[in-house]
């Protein structure tokens, strides 16, 4: 006599050691919304949610800045120090919107400028050089000096414990291999930024300038230029002097093909503060 379908299922269950009377099913694990939120907050690039007090404080700061409108440089620095809320010594940043076409290569803005009062932090300088320049670079205060050995270290170990990269002109053939590593981070030596040292330059003076606070700048895809120009602990005169030096340097870099308004706006901010519109 042929067995029914249910009889076959029962026989198979008995053979596999499954009790046919046990009808309990494994329920899928339910993860609460709170747990999901907690996990999302711990994911890289996703900061935890701000509390109500912090949100209210930030909103009041933005409201205060918006009421002030466009300020002179001196008043903007005073307001920046007044609204400071971070416990650490914040970096003062300048942001300039330029009337350039970033798709045109001849309108790209890039260079470097030595700020009179530095940037308020230790700058780690790596120098690619050889021969007599090695001893000169070390005497000038370079943190790392070498040639092919440093190129291999960056390639093999992805070593990037430095802030500025300088290279003697005769080393650019080897340094060019690091374009894919240093280029995206804005560290690749280039003549426009003054980080390629020619045979006629004094390698020691170039290193000292960058150690003292020479900053690089270049326009982004939106036609903007950004740079740190000091610390919030600097006195007002120091920040004013650094800011004006930077603005004048960018102004002098105006491409010849630009017509109309070159500097559209200037904004001053700190690491944890809203931007303040500045009139110069």
> How big is the CA angle at 238 (ends 127 and 79), to the nearest 5 degrees?
120
- Contacts for 140 with CB less than 8 Å, ≥ 6 apart: 203, 204, 205, 207, 208, 211
For the domain spanning 122-212, the CATH number is 3.40.50.790
User: What is the domain partition of the chain in residue ranges?
Assistant: 70-120+213-280, 122-212
Q: Is the pLDDT of residue 207 over 80?
A: yes
Structure confidence by residue, pLDDT tens digits, 219-243: 998 999 999 999 999 999 999 999 9
SS3 176: helix
- Contacts for 177 with CB less than 8 Å, ≥ 6 apart: 151, 155
Q: Is the pTM of this model over 0.85?
A: no
Q: Is the pLDDT of residue 17 over 80?
A: no
Structure confidence by residue, pLDDT tens digits, 66-105: 777 888 999 999 989 988 888 899 999 999 999 998 888 8
- Name residue 166's beta-bridge partners: 127
Given a contact cutoff of 8 angstroms between Cβ atoms, the answer to whether 102 and 220 are in contact is yes
SS3 110: strand
CATH number (3.30.190.20, 3.40.50.920, 3.20.20.140, 3.40.800.10) of 70-120+213-280 reads 3.30.190.20
């Amino acid at each position: 006599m042929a067995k029914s379908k249910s009889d076959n299922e029962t026989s198979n269950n008995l053979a596999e050691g499954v009790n046919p009377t046990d009808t309990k099913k494994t329920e899928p694990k339910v993860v609460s919304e709170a747990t999901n939120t907690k996990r999302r907050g711990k994911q890289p690039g996703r900061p935890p949610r701000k509390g109500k007090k912090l949100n209210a404080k930030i909103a009041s700061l933005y409201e205060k800045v918006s009421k002030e409108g466009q300020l002179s440089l001196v008043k903007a620095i005073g307001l920046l120090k007044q609204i400071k809320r971070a416990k650490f010594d914040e970096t003062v940043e300048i942001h300039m919107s330029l009337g350039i076409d970033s798709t045109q290569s001849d309108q790209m803005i890039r260079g470097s400028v030595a700020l009179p009062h530095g940037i308020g932090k230790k700058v780690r300088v790596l120098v690619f050089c050889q021969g007599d320049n090695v001893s000169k670079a070390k005497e000038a205060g370079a943190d790392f000096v070498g040639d092919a050995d440093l190129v291999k270290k960056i390639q093999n170990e992805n070593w990037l414990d430095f802030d500025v990269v300088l290279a003697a002109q005769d080393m650019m053939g080897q340094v060019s291999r690091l374009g894919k590593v240093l280029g995206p981070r804005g560290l690749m030596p280039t003549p426009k930024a003054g980080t390629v040292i020619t045979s006629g330059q004094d390698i020691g003076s170039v290193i000292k300038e960058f150690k003292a606070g020479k900053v690089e700048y270049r326009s982004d895809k939106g036609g903007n230029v950004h740079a740190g120009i000091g610390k919030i602990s600097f006195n007002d005169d120091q920040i004013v002097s650094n800011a004006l030096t930077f603005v004048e340097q960018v102004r002098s870099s105006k491409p010849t093909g630009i017509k109309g308004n070159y500097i559209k706006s200037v904004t001053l901010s700190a690491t944890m503060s809203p931007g303040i519109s500045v009139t110069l």
